[in-house]
Amino acid sequence: MLWNVKHPQHYKLRRYDAWEEVAGEMGVDAETCRRKITAFLASLRREKAEMEKKKKKHSHRR
């Protein structure tokens, strides 16, 4: 499965292995790592949206 790119589970296994590798580097389990990264990315999206909102608000004042 790992080396057969046409196998339906190939991509899923590669993702799993990648999460395990990142988790090992961070010193946590893969699920904790996945949750933390998901939360971090959500925070980035919220911050970006807020910045865009402020940018548009200030551009209308001119």
Average pLDDT per block of 10 residues along the chain, 62 residues long:
69 86 93 94 96 85 62
Other CB atoms within a 10 A radius of the CB of residue 33 amount to 19
- According to the model, what pLDDT value does residue 47 have? 96
- According to the model, what pLDDT value does residue 14 have? 85
- According to the model, what pLDDT value does residue 61 have? 66
User: Tokens standing for 19?
Assistant: 């999460």
Claim: this prediction has a pTM higher than 0.75: no
List, as own/partner pairs, every contact residues 29-32 make where C-beta atoms lie below 8 angstroms and the sequence separation is at least 24, other chains included: none
